[in-house]
Amino acid sequence: MWLGPEEVLLAGALWVTERANPFFLLQRRRGHGKGGGLTGLLVGTLDVVLDSSARVAPYRILHQTQDSQVYWAVACGSSRKEITKHWEWLENNLLQTLSIFDNEEDITTFVKGKIHGIIAEENKNEQPQSEEDPGKFKEAELKMRKQFGMPEVEKLVNYYSCSYWKGRVPRQGWLYLTVNHLCFYSFLLGKEVTLVIQWVDVTQLEKNATLLFPECIKVSTRDSELYFSMFLNINETFKLMEQLANIAMRQLLDNESFLQDKSLPKPRRPLKNISALKRDLDARAKNECYRATFRLPKDECLDGHTDCTLWTPFNKMHIPGQMFVSNNYICFASRAEEACHLIIPLREVTIVEKADSSSVLPSPLSISTKSKMTFFFANLKDRDFLVQRISDFLQRTPSKKPCSIDREWKWNVADPSSEEVPELPSSSPLAISPTSALSHRPVSFCAGQVPTASQGLLKLFRRDAEELSGPKGAKEKMKEESWNIHFFEYGRGMCMYRTAKTRELVQKGIPENLRGELWLLFSGAWNEMVTHPGYYTDLVEKSMGRYNLATEEIERDLHRSMPEHPAFQNELGIAALRRVLTAYAFRNPTIGYCQAMNIVTSVLLLYCNEEEAFWLLVALCERMLPDYYNTRVVGALVDQGIFEELTREYLPQLSEKMQDLGVISTISLSWFLTLFLSVMPFESAVVIVDCFFYEGIKFILQVSLAILDANMEKLIQCCDEGEAMTILGRYLDNVVNRQSVSPPIPHLHALLTSGDDPPLEIDIFELIKTSYEKFSNLKADDIEQMRFKQRLKVIQSLEDTAKKSVVRAVSGDIGFSMEELEELYVVFKAKYLMSCYWGNNRAAAARRDQSLPYLEQYRIDMEQFKELFISLTPWACGAHTPVLAGRLFRLLDENRDSLINFKEFVTGMSGMYHGDLTEKLKVLYKLHLPPALNPEETESALEATSYFTEDVTTEETQEDKGRRNENGPEKEEKGTSPQDYRYYLRMWAKEKESKKETIKDLPKMSQEQFIELCKTLYNMFSEDPVEQELYHAIATVASLLLRIGEVGKKFSNRPTRKSEDCKANNTQDPVSEEESPTSEQSQNSAVEQQPQADHEDKASVDALPEKIQQENQTLGDGSGEGQGSPLQLLSDDETKDDMSMSSYSMVSTGSLQCEDIADDTVLVGCEGSSAAARYGSTIDTDWSISFEQILASMLTETALVNYFEKKVNILQKIKDQKKVERQFSSSSDYELSSVSG
């Protein structure tokens, strides 16, 4: 490549001049190429350690002038060919021009200008985003691609100098972190180490320090543990590695592959050696942290943050902290964790102004909101820029307010009964049938056609007045009054100051009238609801009457959702629950519906109206409990792993016992998935939900630890899992809320409390207080860090389970061992994943449906199958191998969706590797019959057009009608009906029942198909050690079979035979009406040529073996030796240029010419018309041969029998395939005879 001219002071140091002229030198790096010796080893080591560009470009061209001591580097190259091309261009285009100049300075100026011009021309068509990356970084990316064989689409994120510990010896080198791989390269005095690891294979990432290793990063895969140390900034490296591994886990979990954010603002000043991708990932990490801290919507992006102080009127102080500004929010977090948090939505802001500075308030900023609150920020470093950014965002904020924003909070704290609500006892018949509203007409929630559209179910199913007037009612009023005072001091709504005082009030329990409001605020659901007015109503209307697997599961669980509560013993509550769950299933089909969502949603509906309950469910499933409610409950398993880790840390005595009993994995899922609602009395569990919405998962974990701690003595004495479960169940059943104003609801687990001793009641508020006293030092950041670590473990464990499940499912019918199947699955999955991140489109990712059985989740298309087939097949056919791969793919793709799953893949592979000669020949035979044999292979472009336009009806009626009957329901049902799984069950049942195919079931083969079979065999044998014997054997067998086919014709009735053939051909591969006359002409001409063929039959057969050996000579030789000799026939073929009878005419006489199966021969299909059109001759359409005849003929030749019964080790092939494609970590540690610099 051309370089912008750079000064080089010592042209001879470490370089050897190979060519020179008065103006230029061509140099090679010392030690590169042959005979490097000790100098080469030292130079190579220096280049790697110092990250010299000479490692990638060991050739260069320098510009020189006679009197100057300064040289200018103008070009470099990675190969001699590349640098020679540049050298020749300089000699041809510049030398003559430069000789005219008198002044050496003019020569140098001219050369530099010319080189800059060339570079500018080359860069004209480059993509603009690549210019964001600094030059040094581009050079590193080039090194990475060259060193590790990565394609252009594999992007480098960053690279670091470090040491890789091989045994006890550190190897200094460079660690390259790309989007999909971790790569390391080291070269020290002839010892080379190369590592390539896919992020999807990483099972553990740890940063630790041991006696053996200094502070280092440990990367674990299923096969190995790798240690890297001596980083300049180990924390930055580890954080980036975590991010990239996390992206890979998301890809395994839900096919969410990495897409670079091109909308990032450019840095105000150039960042040295930081790529655009690295900036993108840093921005993502900050955004995720920002959204999690303030519970903001998933699409909110942080614009920037700055240090400042906030004036807090409730304690008259300036609290130091940070202000965060994003597109739609201004947030503040104090340095002291519990001091103050503030969220100001820009939609609420009315005025932003700079106040006058003073010694008390330097650089103050005043922000006023619609709720008449004013916030003062001070000590802002760049106040003018900040005001400008906020003004820009305010201009983009929609001025037209949704109706929801103007809506005042409907709860009246002073008098909860002031709002007129119709009381509906559970026994009264409903005036409005929600079911009919759902089924027959759109439900207008704003108009209040359905009571639950405007209020929670608790307000509709009122308590008795006695409860409200008793001591519990008085306590409830006191709580409401406390909150009322808090709202007065700290503000109400989204802009409330959130402090330690707020948390104290939450811990004491939120009053029932305020519960819905505060859940919406603390979870952040209120933000999404007011910015999406009418969204829920539209979803309900769209989902009405729709039916799929999720809706069937919802219907099944509706009556299991809090059946003990009066609100859900009534159609009103059931219908509301149905609408919310169905709307969410349609919003997020990836999750759809998961058990436990019904229990949580039913509680939300008690305190909120339907729209609010829907947005709370969105906040739970998508932000607060990520991945909890997908098909594999990954999020719950991750937090279960965190719970086990915390138990080991805080309760070490109990941890070992619980592990032995296996209790934690059993209890934690039900605790976490339902937020204790299914295991604790409702009145107590709802207080847990209060604290959860304020604190997040941290609170659930600390309460779980408190429960184990309270029962430690009893649990340690347990003998089995059942006893431990009974103890915990009895304890949870007796956690009571004595302050609840709701009538007690019988708990389903009350049976566990039966016993001689009366149960000891535990007050829920005491339990919460204990959890804060003992375990409050849990930090949200630490939990997120632990979540990453556990996510790696859980997802890799699930992938291993999936692998074992798939392997078990297919092992019964396949000849491969379990070990071979596991290795094949790894290769198959890796090929699928490669297509996801190296493919040009995201079609591969789109075709993985997590709801399908494991066997169906990874599917590959024809191109990927061809790549695997070429590397793994024992039947290598040279250039013909891709053709054979395409045929096998069509044979395996029974449902014609152009994708095959793992079972279909290994079935095809097993057919080539296992079984006797008969089974292998059967596979080969089928590959030369439809549907494996594609009609397009035998047709010209014109005929192909005719085939697709006119024959589509015939194809539909003959072939696809039956397939539509079988597969049609699947297409209709998928996504709209619960028949998905039933379809697969029926399909598997058919597979089990299907009788074993016998050789008599195979259809006969036409002459064209037989020619293609012979061509395939010829190509298969071309690289075999005993190819001459195999050539002779196949020539003998082919000639014999052609004669057998001719003899078979004589015993058949010609007219009858013709009509039968037409029928058979129409069934196998229908052709257009235009081609039919051609077929008849073809047949007639074949009959006319019969006598001539009979005379030449014997000569052709005898000459076949000799002809195979002399094929290349004969093709070049045009002279003939006699009319009947094979050489003369070939000569005629070449010289007449298909004007007269070609060698294909000879095929119908009973002989097979080797020239007929050359690489450019394409003779496939059921009809001979295209062959006739192409070669000017005809194929005998009456000729046919059966599989039994081919098998019998093959068995007569020992060479053929030995070839097909030869055992091939597929594990070795898989190992070679991995090495070539660098699918897994591979390391080399060897001496290099010729050392590359």
State pLDDT tens for residues 112-149: 888 888 877 776 655 444 445 566 788 788 888 888 88
Evaluated on CA atoms 41, 42, 45, 47, the torsion sign reads negative
pLDDT at 1101: 38
What is the reported pLDDT for 960?
Answer: 42
Contact 111, 244 (CB under 8 A): no
Q: Average pLDDT of 1042-1057?
A: 72
Q: How many CB atoms lie within 10 A of CB 9?
A: 8
Mean per-residue pLDDT over the chain, rounded: 75
Average pLDDT over residues 614-622: 95
Q: What is the share, in percent, of the chain residues with pLDDT greater than 90?
A: 31
At residue 1024, does pLDDT exceed 70? Answer: yes
Worst-scoring range by mean pLDDT, 451-465, 700-714, 847-861, 981-995?
981-995
Q: Where are the alpha helices (DSSP H) in 424-523?
A: 434-440, 457-460, 465-469, 471-490, 500-507, 512-523
pLDDT surpasses 50 at 931: yes
> Given this model, what pLDDT does residue 138 score?
80
Neighbours of 731 (CB within 10 A): 22
Residue 479 in contact with residue 469, Cβ under 8 Å?
no
Q: Which three-class secondary structure state does DSSP give residue 877? A: coil
Give me the mean pLDDT over the 25-52 stretch: 61
pLDDT tens figures, 621-679: 999 999 899 888 899 999 999 999 999 999 998 888 888 887 888 787 889 999 999 99
- pLDDT bin (cut points 50, 70, 90) of residue 480 is very high
When pLDDT is averaged across residues 1038-1059 and rounded to a whole number, the result is: 73
Q: What percent of the chain has pLDDT over 70?
A: 70
Residues in the chain: 1237
Of the pLDDT bands very low, low, confident and very high (cuts 50, 70, 90), residue 1037 is very high
Residue burial 95-118, b: 16+ Cβ < 10 Å; e: rest: eeebeebeeeeebbeebeebbeee
pLDDT at position 419 over 50: no
Give the H/E segment covering residue 406.
Answer: helix 403-406
Q: Is 878 helix (H, G, I), strand (E, B) or coil?
A: helix
Q: Residue 82 above 60 pLDDT?
A: yes
pLDDT at position 158 over 60: yes
Q: How far apart are CA 637 and CA 288, in angstroms?
A: 21
Least confident of 613-627, 826-840, 1134-1148: 1134-1148
Residue 979 tokens read as 């028949």
* Residue 709, CA atoms < 13 Å, CB-side half-sphere: 21
pLDDT at residue 47, rounded to an integer: 57
pLDDT reported for residue 988: 65
Q: Sign (positive/negative) of CA torsion 308, 312, 316, 320?
A: negative
CA–CA gap between residue 638 and residue 916 (Å, rounded): 48
Instruction: Give residue 1224's pLDDT.
Output: 35
Closest CA to 243 of 210, 274, 202: 202
Checking if the pLDDT of 1081 tops 60, the result is: no
**Dihedral angle, C-alpha 446, 448, 451, 453, nearest 10 °:** -10
**Residue with the larger pLDDT of the pair 915 and 622:** 622
Helix%, strand%, coil% for the chain, nearest 5: 55, 10, 35
What integer pLDDT is reported at residue 217 of this predicted model?
Answer: 93
Between CA 845 and CA 839 the distance in angstroms is: 10
User: What per-residue confidence (pLDDT) applies to 1107?
Assistant: 38
The residue among 895 and 532 whose pLDDT is bigger is 532
Q: Stretch 1076-1081: mean pLDDT, rounded?
A: 38
Q: How far apart are CA 800 and CA 797, in angstroms?
A: 5
Cβ-based neighbours of 191, under 8 Å, separated by 6 or more: 171, 1229, 1230, 1231
Residue 609 reports pLDDT greater than 50:
yes
Residue 32: pLDDT band with limits 50, 70, 90: low
Query: Rounded CA gap, 517 and 505, in Å?
Result: 14
216-221 and 15-20 strand pairing? unpaired
More confident residue, 946 or 763: 763
- Please count the CA atoms within 13 angstroms of the CA of 1084 that sit on its side-chain side: 6
| Average pLDDT value for residue range 860-874 | 90
| Local confidence band at 438 (pLDDT 50, 70, 90 cut-offs) | very low
Name which of 184-188, 782-786, 926-930, 1193-1197 the model is least confident about.
184-188
Q: Looking at 206-215, 259-268, 556-565, 1119-1128, which range is the least confident one?
A: 1119-1128
What is the SS3 assignment for 531?
helix
Residue 900 is classified by DSSP as B
β-pair partners for 345: 329
pLDDT digits (tens, 9 = 90+) for 238-283: 999 999 999 999 888 876 656 666 555 555 555 556 778 888 888 9
- Mean pLDDT over residues 189-218, rounded? 83
Per-residue pLDDT, 774: 92
**Integer Cα distance of 875 and 854 in angstroms:** 30
Beta strands in 968-1095 (DSSP E): 1005-1006
Give the least confident one: 189-198, 330-339, 430-439, 984-993.
Answer: 430-439
862-872 helix and 881-892 helix, angle to the nearest 10 degrees: 120
Residue 306, number of CB atoms within 10 A of its CB: 16
Q: Is the pLDDT of residue 535 over 90?
A: yes
* pLDDT, position 1213: 83
Choose between 589 and 981: higher pLDDT. 589
Selected residue with higher pLDDT from 582 and 363: 582
Q: Which residue has the higher pLDDT, 996 or 1196?
A: 1196
Mean pLDDT of 511-539: 94
SS3 867: helix
Q: Answer whether residue 1148 shows pLDDT above 70.
A: no
Least confident of 342-346, 356-360, 686-690, 821-825: 356-360
**pLDDT attached to residue 1206:** 87
More confident residue, 1057 or 935: 935
pLDDT the model gives residue 349:
93
Cis peptide leading into residue 402 (ω within 30°): no
